[in-house]
Amino acid sequence: MKKIKVFIKLIVLYSGIGLLALLIIPSDPKNAWFFGYSTNRVILISIFLTTIFFLVTLMISLGTNNKIDKVLKQIIFVLKNNKNIRTLLFLIVFFLILFSFVFLLVWFLFQKHSAIFLRLSPLCFLSLASGMLALNMGVSKYNTQFTKMKDYISDTQILSKRHRILSFFVYSLIFIFFGVYFYWGTVHADLVNNNMGHTDQSAYMSFAKQARDTHFEYRGGRNRMPIYPYLLALLYKEDISDDDFFDDGKLFNIRLSLILLLCWFTVKWNF
C-alpha cells in the first residue's frame, strides 16, 4: 500500500502542475465566460480539480480500513492475480504514453491550431507522466510482450527511483516552458514581426531564394554564414509568394529555436 500512496501522491503533484499550466496559459477575451476563461477551459479545469479531489480522497482513505480502502485492496488483489487484467492495464499505460507522443506529433503538423493544442497540453503532460510513472512502478509477474517491454525500460533505469520526483518535475517544467515558448513565439510572429524588411530578414530570404535557384552554389555577397539561409532555402518553392515564404520562415525559426533549446537542455542536464 505504501507504493500505491507514493503513486497517488505523484499523480496529485502532476495534476497540480497541469492545473497550474492550464491557469497561466493566456486567455482569449473574446471567449471569456467565467473568471476570464472560456467554457472549454473551465471544463478542463474542472477535470483537473475533480481528479485531484478524487485522488486526495483516495489517499486519505488508504490504511483506514473503511469502505474505500477495502475496495481498493480488492482491486489490487485482482490486479496481482489476474493475468488478463494486468495485461489490459499495461495496454492502457502504453496507450497513455503513445497518446502523448501522437498528440505532440499532431501539434507539430497542425501549427495553425496551436492555441487549441496548447490548452490541451496539460492533459497530454498528465497522460505522459502518469503512464511513465505507472510503467516504472509496476511489478511484472507474467511473461507477456507488454511486461517484457516494461521490464526492459525499467532495467535501463530511464527513470531512477532515487531521482524520479526531481526528474518528472524538471521534465514537466521543460514541457510547460516549450509550450508557452512556442505559443508566444507564434503570437509574436503574427502580431509584431510583420515587416520582412526589418533587421535584414528580407536579405536572408533573398539569400535563400538564390541558393535554391542555383542548387546551393550561391555563397552570398556579404558577411552572412550560409548554413541558416541554406536551411531556409529548403522551404522555398518557385510558386510561393514572399508573404507566404516569410510566414513559413518565421514558423521555421520558432521550430529551429525549440530544437536548439532542447539540445542545450540535454547537454546541460547530462554534462
Amino acid making up residue 73: K
The CA distance from 269 to 266, in Å, is 5
Confidence of residue 140 (pLDDT cuts 50, 70, 90): very low
The CA distance from 140 to 87, in Å, is 10
Confidence of residue 170 (pLDDT cuts 50, 70, 90): low
Average pLDDT over residues 57-85: 75
Confidence of residue 159 (pLDDT cuts 50, 70, 90): very low
For residue 151, pLDDT beyond 60: no
Q: Where are the alpha helices (DSSP H) in 110-163?
A: 114-137, 145-155
For residue 231, pLDDT beyond 70: yes
Q: Specify the pLDDT at position 144.
A: 47
Of 48, 14, 179, 174, the C-alpha closest to 107 is: 179
For residue 113, pLDDT beyond 80: no
Q: Give pTM, 2 decimals.
A: 0.50
For residue 267, pLDDT beyond 70: no
Q: How many whole angstroms from its chain centre is CA 203?
A: 35
Q: 37 by DSSP, 3-state: which? A: strand
